[in-house]
Amino acid sequence: MLNWLARYFKSINIAGVLGVEFRDPPAPVAPGRPHPQTLEYAIATSSKFSDAIRSDARVCRLLENANWKQAAESALAQFLDGKMCLNNGWVTSKTWTVVRVSCLDHIIDSLGRFRQRASYGAVATVVGMLPHTVMTGRPKTPANSWVVGADPPHVPSGYAAEELAPSLAESERVLCTADELRAWLRALDV
């Protein structure tokens, strides 16, 4: 009875009017796996990459402001973990854009630092953009040349030979999906 009542009040947004928060009961978890509401889960899913983004001055400013924190946390959850946001107002907000740009900057920096190629589609999906627009406005420099086409020869479009990173061809593996890119980013020791 109480769960039904809580869902009803959520649906009519009574929580916002009354200033209370209704929480769903914890979801069942497979044996041997940490529950999402525990410290063990936070440690298991944390990464140096996510810590680097959270410590970015642009993102820190958003996370410290009560008005922007929820939208920023939602953007981080989508970009880092692939958890979709259902609030279109947040997705189109400037807060979301700032987090997106910060994530994109860190992804491109990490790809270059660790000499790893990733496809336009993988990067675009992670940061919630279209593949043909993900590098729009960025200069054609060796640092930005690690984001490449998914099809062979796996080079960035429209780059001259002198604009490519010298070691680009040495990187055999290309991260072609958002899941591969997210897994690679989580495994980094940035």
Establish if 154 belongs to a structural domain.
Answer: yes
* pTM greater than 0.85: no
Establish if 81 belongs to a structural domain.
Answer: yes
What is the spatial distance between Cα 66 and Cα 177, in angstroms, rounded to a whole number?
34
pLDDT tens across 17-65, in order?
444 444 444 455 555 554 444 434 444 445 688 888 888 999 999 999 9
Instruction: Judge contact between 37 and 26, C-beta under 8 A.
Output: yes
Establish if 18 belongs to a structural domain.
Answer: no
Establish if 17 belongs to a structural domain.
Answer: no
Closest listed residue to residue 86, CA positions, set 105, 100, 71: 71
| Number of structural domains the chain divides into | 1
Q: State the pLDDT at residue 169.
A: 86
Name residues of the chain where pLDDT drops below 50.
1, 15, 17-26, 34-45, 190
Position of tokens 């994109």?
A: 104
Structure tokens at 185: 């980013």
Instruction: Judge contact between 122 and 178, C-beta under 8 A.
Output: yes
Establish if 25 belongs to a structural domain.
Answer: no
Give the ranges where the chain is alpha helix by DSSP (H). 2-11, 14-18, 39-45, 48-54, 57-64, 69-81, 88-91, 94-113, 120-127, 178-187
Q: State the pLDDT at residue 171.
A: 85
Q: State the pLDDT at residue 76.
A: 93
Q: State the pLDDT at residue 39.
A: 38
What is the spatial distance between Cα 16 and Cα 22, in angstroms, rounded to a whole number?
10
Half-sphere CA count of 69, side-chain side, radius 13 A: 5
Q: Which domain holds residue 96?
A: 46-187
